[in-house]
Amino acid sequence: MFTNVAYLHNSLSDMVDHSKSLVVTSCGYYRVHSRPVVSTERPKGRKDYQLLYIAKGKGYFYFDGLDGKETVITEGNMILFRPGEIQYYYYHAPDKTEVYWVHFTGRMVDGILDNYELPHSENVFYTGTSPDYAWLYRQMIQELQLCRPNYEELMSLMLRHIFIMINRYLKEGKKSGSEIQNEIERATHYFNENYNKPINIDEYAESRHMSTCWFIRCFKQILKVTPMQYILSLRMANAQSLLEGTKYNISEIAEYVGYDNPLYFSRLFHKHIGVSPSEYRKKREN
């Protein structure tokens, strides 16, 4: 089992803090692969709130206690526990479960959850498998471990970001199709991380078990551009940033944003931006 956890002020206590509107008190990540069973048993619940995200695998939850019904919760689901709610849940090694969690408190938590329309009558809701959820959880863990200036405020903003993503998914995901929305979010995340590398749309679609035509059509339907147009815009935006903020020459910038041929890069830049890279730099310098 692999864990990465962090606690506010290194305190493992069940903390309630009404001095601020929203306070993150602890967060963490579990990857269950060797330990047979990882269990949590809180018959009286906790005093704070908890939001779990099943990134991979599944969990086994008993919302009415061990004598109640077992609910198997799979990846892409969030589980929200409010203060005082029974908590019995288990992860089993064969499922290779990966789960993120955050505990939070504050004087305005109920109002914040209502504002983002998180379900009141149910603990579990499907929010998709966007990589952004895991990224935000990891960022909160890191902030809580490093304790840099204003880290508490930043963590509360990151948690609100998660609430906004959940709200958008619950509203928009149903309109455009949850699976389609999920795939497009995953694709944009991949393109943002790898725009400076060779990307073959056919190979990407095949790796996600989609037809290329279906993927391009859905991508354009949601983002109003094709995948390659989206990647091109990322490359040009980053090229502009490098031209403005660095002394790298045109060949170096072309390579940094994914082009082996600086002449081809210059032609694309001129077509997309309206001036050549060198002219763009001169105008910005002037």
Domain ranges in the chain are 2-175, 177-286
Q: What is the pLDDT of residues 240-282, one digit of tens each?
A: 999 988 899 999 999 999 999 999 999 999 999 999 999 999 8
pLDDT at 177 over 80: no
CB distance 262 to 254 below 8 Å = yes
Task: Tell me the CATH class for 177-286.
Answer: mainly alpha
The pair phi, psi for residue 219, each rounded to 5°, is -60, -45
- What pLDDT score does 185 carry? 85
- What pLDDT score does 286 carry? 75
State the Cα–Cα distance between residues 116 and 135, nearest whole angstrom. 20
Reported as type and span, the H/E element at residue 44 is: none
State the Cα–Cα distance between residues 264 and 224, nearest whole angstrom. 25
Assigned CATH for 2-175? 2.60.120.280
- Give the other-Cβ count within 10 Å of 176's Cβ: 13
- Neighbouring residues of 34: CB distance < 8 A, sequence distance ≥ 6: 1, 93
Q: What is the pLDDT of residues 31-80, one digit of tens each?
A: 998 888 999 999 999 999 999 999 999 999 999 999 999 999 999 899 99
Hunting for tokens 């863990």 — which residue is that? 141
- What pLDDT score does 273 carry? 92
Q: What is the reported pTM?
A: 0.68
Q: What is the pLDDT of residues 108-151, one digit of tens each?
A: 999 999 999 998 888 999 888 888 899 999 999 999 999 999 99
- Give the other-Cβ count within 10 Å of 70's Cβ: 12
Six token digits for residue 92: 């089993």
- What pLDDT score does 110 carry? 94
